Amino acid sequence: MTFLEVRDLEVEFRVDKKPVKPIEGISFELNEKEVLGIVGETGSGKSLTAHAILGLSTLVGGKIGGSVKFKERELLSISENEMQSVRGDQIAFIPQNPMTSLDPVYRVGDQIVEGLIQHAKVSKREAKPQVIKLMERLRIPKADRVFQQYPHQLSGGLKQRIVIAMGLCTNPQLLIADEPTTALDVTVQAQIMRLFSEMTRDRGIGLFLITHDLGVIAQVCDKVAVMYAGRMVEFGNIEPVFNTPSHPYTEALLDCIPYIGMKKGSLSAIDGNVPSAGNYPSGCRYHPRCQHSFSPCGTNVPALNQIEGGTRVACHLYQGKKD
Amino acid sequence: MPATYIRGKKTDNMENFIEVKNLSVSFDVRAGILLRTIGTIQAVNDVSFSIKKGEILGVVGESGCGKSTLARLILRLIEPKSGSVKFDGIDIFQLSKKELRQQRSRMAMVFQDPYSAMDPRYTIFRSLSEPFQIQNSRFKNEERRKKIDDLLKLVGLDPQHGFAYPHELSGGQKQRADIARVLTLTPPFIVLDEPTAALDVSVQAQIIKLLEDLREKLDLTFLFISHDLSLVSYFCDRVIVMYLGCVAEIISADLIGEHAQHPYTKALVESIFKTKPGQKNQAPPLEGEVPSPFNLPPGCVFVSRCKYAQPICREQPPVLEKSAEAGRVACHFPLS
C-alpha cells in the first residue's frame, strides 16, 4: 500500500482575472516511514506543494487539481470538515518560521496543549504531563519551566523544538516540515535535524521535508524531488539523484555549492534567474538557462519519465530512453 | 617568516594592508525608568589580525558572535572602546571627520540585505552617482554617465538597468547593483557582510564568481563575513573563526577541514551537511546554543559547550597563540 501518492497535482490562482498555475504536474509517492525531501530555489513551489497536499491552498483562493491519496483515501474530494480531522491528526505540519508561527501572547506549553485537546480529546489536566514528557524527549532542558514561558523568552532552537512538539503531540503518521532549520545557526541546525531523524525513525513517522539546503536533503532523506519553476524535474532515491544527477538542473544546482577543500576558482554558477510564476518560459521551463538545450526544449513540455535506475526525469535528453 | 599564499600563489613578506590591534567594543544595557546600566554586552573582545594586499580574509561564526560589529568597527561606522585599526598605515580612529571622509573613498561595504541597501526612491543610476557627488569627484555629467554604464557592465548588468528602481530588480541583480555602487570610487578595500545570505545557491554562485573576477581585475582586498563555513573556506585565503566576540582561531582556508585546532572550529566543520549522501557525519552535534553575550563569565567563552573543558578553562581566558602554518588559536588545549 502506498502511503502518500500524489498525481498531477496543480494549483491555480487567478491573478488579474487570468489563471496562473504556480505549480503543476507534481507526481510522486512516499512509502511508510520514508523521508522525502523536496528541494528547489525560492519560488519553485516547494511550500505550495505542501500546502496543496494539506488542502490549505483553497483557503487562500487557490484551485487544487490532480489527486492526493493518503493511505488510499483521496484527500482532494473530502469536505473541509473531514480534512480538518486529517490535518494535525494524521498529517501534521511544521511551518517555516518558528519565530512567527507561535502566538506571542500565550505560554508555549498551552499552545502545544491546545492541539492535543483538539485532536486527542483529552482534558487539559491530562494533556499537560503528556506534553512535558514530549518536551523532555525533544531534549528541552527544564521542560516544566519552559512550559510556562512565552515565545519571546526562548531561543530560536528552543522555539523550533516547541513547534516540533506541536507537530508531534497528536502522534501523526506523516509530518510535513517546511524549512524547519533555515532560521537557525549551523550547530543548532545539526541538533534539530538529528532530532528529526530520531523522532521520525523511532515512531515510524513519514517525513516530508522541504528545504533549499541540498546538504540537509543528502544527509536526512531517502528520496528526493527536485523542483524548478513550479514543476518537478527529477524524482528518485537520494543516492542516484545526488551522486549521478540526470537532469541538467539538478547537476548544475549541485555544482553551485562550495564545499571544504574545493579548488579555488572551480565553482560554477547557473546563469540567469529563476522565472516567477506567470512568466514561465514555454516548453521546458529550464531551457533558457540550460547548457544542453536543443530544438524541442523551447516548445515541448518534457514528461516525467522513468529512466534506468528508477529515477524519474523530465528532460528531452532522456525522452525515448524509457526503462 | 612563514610563506603566505594568496589565491593559491605564494607571496612572501608583504606588508600588512589592514592591521587591527586589540580592538574591543562593548554596549551598555540600560533598563528601568532611570535607565541604569544593568550590564554590558562585550560585542567585540580584544580582536587582533591583519590583512595583506590582495588577500580575502573570511570571518565566520554563528549569530551574535560579533562578525558584523567587527566589520562596522573596521570602517569606523561605530567607535571602539579600545584598540586601533591601521588602514594602509593610517590609524583611522585618529582621523578628523574631514580626513576620515577622504579615506572613506578608499574603503567600502556591501551589506547583507540587497533589498534594503539601496534607497527605494532612487533609480540605480542615481544611487550610483551619489558617491561622486559626496566625494566631489572631478567627473562631469557625461563622464559620470559613461563611468556608471561601464560599472553596470562590469558587474554583469545592462546599462538599461540604471533606469530601474531597486524593486524592479531580482535579488541577484540588486546585489550586483549594490556591488557596482561600492565600486564607483574604486576603493582598494571592500568589506562584504554576508553578501549572499539572502540569495539562492545558483545566484550565490554567480555573485561569488563575480567577486572573484573583480578581485582579479581591480586588485581588490576583501574582508568577507559569512556564517557559511563551506563558502568561506572556498572563497577566502584565511579565515577568522569568532565566538561570542572573541577570536577562537585564525587559520588558512585550506587547513580548516582537516587541521582545525580549536574545538569550536572543528564542531563547525562537523555540523556541515555534505551534499554527498554516502558521507554521513558521525560526530554528535555540539550541545546547547550560543549563550547570551550579556555579562560574560571569566575564562574561555566557549567553555559551556566544549567537551574538552578543564577547570582552567573556566578561570583563565586563553590567549590567541601562534599555531602551526601561520595560524593562531585561542585554546588551552588545542587539538592536534
| pLDDT of the residue at B324 | 62
Q: Which of A218, A253, A264 sits opposite B201 (nearest CB)?
A: A253
| pLDDT of the residue at B5 | 65
Q: Which of A186, A238, A270 sits opposite B277 (nearest CB)?
A: A238
Cα–Cα distance, A99 to A207 (Å, whole number): 22
Contacts of A156 in chain B (CB under 8 A): 289
Q: 231-250 in B: which are within 8 Å (CB) of A?
A: 231, 233-235
Question: How far apart are the CA of A263 and the nearest CA of chain B, in angstroms?
Answer: 7
The answer to whether the CB atoms of A273 and B203 lie below 8 A apart is yes
B184 within 8 A of B108, measured Cβ to Cβ = no
Q: Which residues of chain A have pLDDT under 70?
A: 1, 320-323
Instruction: Work out the average pLDDT over B23-36.
Output: 86
What contacts A246, CB < 8 A, 6 or more positions away?
A234, A240, A307, A311, A313, A315, A318
Question: How far apart are the CA of A147 and the nearest CA of chain B, in angstroms?
Answer: 18
Cα–Cα distance, A210 to A50 (Å, whole number): 8
The answer to whether the CB atoms of B233 and A257 lie below 8 A apart is no
Q: 62-91 in B: which are within 8 Å (CB) of A?
A: 62-63
Burial class (CB in 10 A: 0-12, 13-18, 19+), A109: buried
Confidence of residue B179 (pLDDT cuts 50, 70, 90): very high
Cβ pairs A/B, distance under 8 A = 136
Cα–Cα distance, B63 to B290 (Å, whole number): 8
A151 within 8 A of A182, measured Cβ to Cβ = no
Residue whose C-alpha cell is 559626496: B134
Q: Which of A221, A220, A216, A231 is nearest to A286 (CA)?
A: A231
Residue B265 in contact with partner chain A when CB distance is under 8 A: no
Torsion region of A84: left, alpha or beta (phi above 0 gives left; psi -120 to 50 gives alpha): alpha
Cα–Cα distance, A150 to A107 (Å, whole number): 5
Q: 204-243 in A: which are within 8 Å (CB) of B?
A: 212-216, 218-220, 238-239, 242-243
Residue whose C-alpha cell is 503518521: A173
Cα–Cα distance, B105 to B187 (Å, whole number): 6
Q: Indicate if the pLDDT at residue B1 is higher than 50.
A: no
Q: What is the pLDDT of residues B49-86, one digit of tens each?
A: 999 999 999 999 988 888 989 999 999 999 999 999 99
| pLDDT of the residue at B7 | 67
Residue A264 in contact with partner chain B when CB distance is under 8 A: yes
Contacts of A220 in chain B (CB under 8 A): 273
Residue B7 in contact with partner chain A when CB distance is under 8 A: yes
Q: Which of A238, A259, A265 sits opposite B230 (nearest CB)?
A: A259
What is the chain A residue with the closest CA to B268? A187
The DSSP element (H or E) to which A187 belongs, if any, is helix A186-203
Q: Which of B63, B204, B287 sits opposite A185 (nearest CB)?
A: B63
Contacts of A214 in chain B (CB under 8 A): 201, 275
Contacts of B203 in chain A (CB under 8 A): 269, 273
B177 within 8 A of B118, measured Cβ to Cβ = yes
Question: How far apart are the CA of B302 and the nearest CA of chain A, in angstroms?
Answer: 13
The answer to whether the CB atoms of B276 and A188 lie below 8 A apart is no
Predicted ipTM of the assembly: 0.86
The answer to whether the CB atoms of B285 and A191 lie below 8 A apart is yes
Contacts of B7 in chain A (CB under 8 A): 264-265
CA distances from A116 to A119, A126, A140, A168 (A): 5, 10, 19, 10
**What's phi and psi for B203, nearest 5 deg?**
-75, -35
Confidence of residue B41 (pLDDT cuts 50, 70, 90): confident
Residue B209 in contact with partner chain A when CB distance is under 8 A: yes
User: Which residue in B63, B158, B202 has the most chain A C-beta atoms within 10 A of its own C-beta, making it the best mutation to test that interface?
Assistant: B202
Q: Which of A41, A219, A238 sits opposite B274 (nearest CB)?
A: A219
Question: How far apart are the CA of B140 and the nearest CA of chain A, in angstroms?
Answer: 34
Instruction: Work out the average pLDDT over B200-226.
Output: 93
CA distances from A240 to A62, A197, A311 (A): 35, 21, 7
Q: What is the pTM of this model?
A: 0.89
| pLDDT of the residue at B4 | 61
The answer to whether the CB atoms of A256 and B204 lie below 8 A apart is yes
Q: Hey, which residues does B297 pair with through a beta bridge?
A: none
**What's phi and psi for A133, nearest 5 deg?**
-65, -45
Q: Which of B285, B26, B192, B124 is nearest to A197 (CA)?
A: B285
Q: What is the pLDDT of residues A214-237, one digit of tens each?
A: 999 999 999 999 999 999 999 999
Question: How far apart are the CA of B84 and the nearest CA of chain A, in angstroms?
Answer: 30
Question: How far apart are the CA of B270 and the nearest CA of chain A, in angstroms?
Answer: 9
| pLDDT of the residue at A322 | 44
Cα–Cα distance, A110 to B240 (Å, whole number): 43
What contacts B330, CB < 8 A, 6 or more positions away?
B246, B247, B248, B249, B262, B300, B317, B318, B319, B320, B321
Question: How far apart are the CA of B9 and the nearest CA of chain A, in angstroms?
Answer: 11
What is the percentage of chain B residues whose pLDDT exceeds 90?
54
| pLDDT of the residue at A131 | 93
- Reading across the β-sheet that carries A312-314, which strands appear in turn? A91-94, A174-178, A206-211, A35-39, A223-228, A231-237, A312-314, A304-306
CA A25 distance to own-chain centroid: 16
Q: Indicate if the pLDDT at residue B11 is higher than 80.
A: no
